[in-house]
Amino acid sequence: MPNFYQKYNIFAVNSKEKLHKREIMEKKKIIVSSDKIIILLLLVFSVFFLFLNSKNSPLYLFNEWCDPNIYFSIGKGMINGLIPYKDLFDHKGPFIFLIYAIAYLISPNSFLGVYIIECITLFISLIFVYKIARLYLNDTFSFATALIYTVFLFTKSHYGGSAEEFISVSIIVSFYYFILYFRDNDLPDKKYRNQMFIHGLMFGLAFLSKLSICVFWVPLLLVIGINLLFKKEYIKALIYSLIFLLGFIVFILPFILYFSLNSALYDAYFGYIEFNSMYAEFNPDIWLLRKIVVQFIKLMINDFISFPILVLGVCMLSFTKRYIKNKLYKFGILASFALSFIFICLSKYIMTYAHMVIYAYSVFGLIFIFQIIDKIIDYKKYNLYICIAVFVGTLVIGTNDKKLFNEDINCLTRKTECTYMQKKFTQIINKEKNPTLLNIGLDFGVFTKSGIVPTYKYFFYPNIPYHIYPEIRDYQVNLIETKDPMFIVIGEYSSYFEVYNDLPALHKNYELISTYNPDSTDIGKQVFLYKRKH
């Protein structure tokens, strides 16, 4: 039997253990409560930031950028029974068309639906950036990391609504789970299996949006597999591979069934795979190497804050043991960045928004910087002030970068009734019953504003030379010669404006009824509206 003192000591020890457990529980409650508040703030920030920095938001009169308008026209066609690639042609992946089809259901004549989807995807991205940063930083600096990442990302977003913008969420989600796996291998195996399924889903999203972006996953998955084989865990490697494949199949299977049931599987393959191969410039020679080096130097100079921080993140992950210790995993991250960057440079037309997909790496550049700041200042005294300053500061910096897209403030506040090309032409077109429309050149939004569902497979002219793919111009010329479309939009921005403008059938069968002289930086040249002669 224990004596009085032994009983007392046992009681004291138990009391201390209970007190310690209670303290841990209280700390967890505080952390959870703090995280919930920050997640709510991230949602508010996403809505406000995009309201100011995406032309899809209700603040702006119209987003005249061709990419969202093309996707919206095809999404609209999908809802109205037309099949992408077969009935309406573009070379982007079908998942992007699905996003815009959903946006069309929300708002059929504006980009309000696109704006709502943008807010949701940015919010999800910021949650995962916050989760990555939270592995290494306190909640305040993790919050700041997420907001600054947004500014880095959207300095590349152009007018908003690009395929890369929507794909970036899949990259940051997978990036978080890769970091979890590389950081510590002591989680239950079930969690790693779940991660592989998520990777499969995210890979499928990218695969059906823009093929070249899939290279992000390849080295990271390979190093996991190779490491398992080195450890002779062959069964686990096989199981992980099958689970990843399952996630991929779950995502793409509905699309395969959709195209199969509509006898358009080959059309989808040609439009998305074969046609895109015509765009690529894969010449592994000195010229390509020079292009890659020049592009890297340009980014270091022009994006002298965000891109160096991105490179810092890659270096900290790949060349130090600070965040990842396994050499194979570090090599995988370096290879993932290098391949992603190279494939951006393979494109004939390197657009600014193409770089959005590599900015996940900037998160670790920011984490490293905030870890240094954390050692210098006592952040606990300034938590609230830091959060407010970063929230307001990133909104201001992001908006200053976009400069409200140089829109007239009187137009934005609706003090003045402002016109624009799409509105002007729509007022004319919609006077007719069941109008049909052909766009010679890129689709800058007359289809969107007018609500017209495209009737023709090649309803616009993508940026591809005639000698590579002559079918588009031949198809459109035939429509003009047969007087099929009621209206034709043709702009000086078109690569083949002079060819079409000198076409005898255009002036024989159609009359010029309206001209628009734009201030728009995106269109930048005169646009003409022709109507079929009686």
At 383 the pLDDT is 81
Query: What residue segments make up the domains of the chain, in order of their start?
Result: 20-406, 421-532
The pair of structure tokens assigned to 332 is 């995988």
30 band by pLDDT with thresholds 50, 70 and 90: very low
Statement: residue 347 has pLDDT above 80: no
What is the mean pLDDT of the segment spanning 305-325? 96
Residue recorded with tokens 């079918």: 471
For the chain, state the CA radius of gyration: 27
Which of 51-60, 86-95, 378-387, 477-486 shows the lowest per-residue confidence on average (mean pLDDT)?
A: 378-387
pTM of the model: 0.91
- Map residue 280 onto helix, strand or coil: strand
| Backbone φ/ψ region at 158: left (φ over 0), alpha (ψ -120 to 50), beta | left
Positive or negative, the CA dihedral 70, 72, 78, 80 is negative
Cα 146 to chain center, whole Å? 16
Query: What pLDDT digit, counting tens, does each position of 35-59 carry?
Result: 888 999 999 999 999 999 999 999 9
| Mean residue pLDDT across the chain | 90
362-376 and 112-134 are packed helices; what angle lies between their axes, rounded to 10 degrees?
50
What are the distances in angstroms from CA 2 to CA 8, 15, 96, 299, 357?
10, 18, 73, 74, 67
Instruction: Name the residue type at position 229.
Output: L
The pair of structure tokens assigned to 356 is 């959005």
At 9 the pLDDT is 57
Distance CA 262, CA 86 (A): 9
Which of 23-27, 98-102, 168-172 shows the lowest per-residue confidence on average (mean pLDDT)?
A: 23-27
Beta strands in 397-460 (DSSP E): 437-440
Cα 283 to chain center, whole Å? 27
Are 412 and 518 contacting, i.e. CB atoms less than 8 angstroms apart?
no
Statement: residue 361 has pLDDT above 60: yes
Walk across the sheet containing 510-516 and list its strands: 437-440, 487-491, 527-532, 510-516
C-alpha closest to that of 364 among 434, 442, 413, 311: 311
C-alpha closest to that of 360 among 177, 516, 532, 531: 177
What is the mean pLDDT of the segment spanning 219-246? 96
What is the mean pLDDT of the segment spanning 171-176? 98
C-alpha closest to that of 101 among 87, 90, 117, 85: 117
Could you tell me the fold of the domain covering 421-532?
D-Maltodextrin-Binding Protein; domain 2 (3.40.190)
Distance CA 112, CA 131 (A): 29
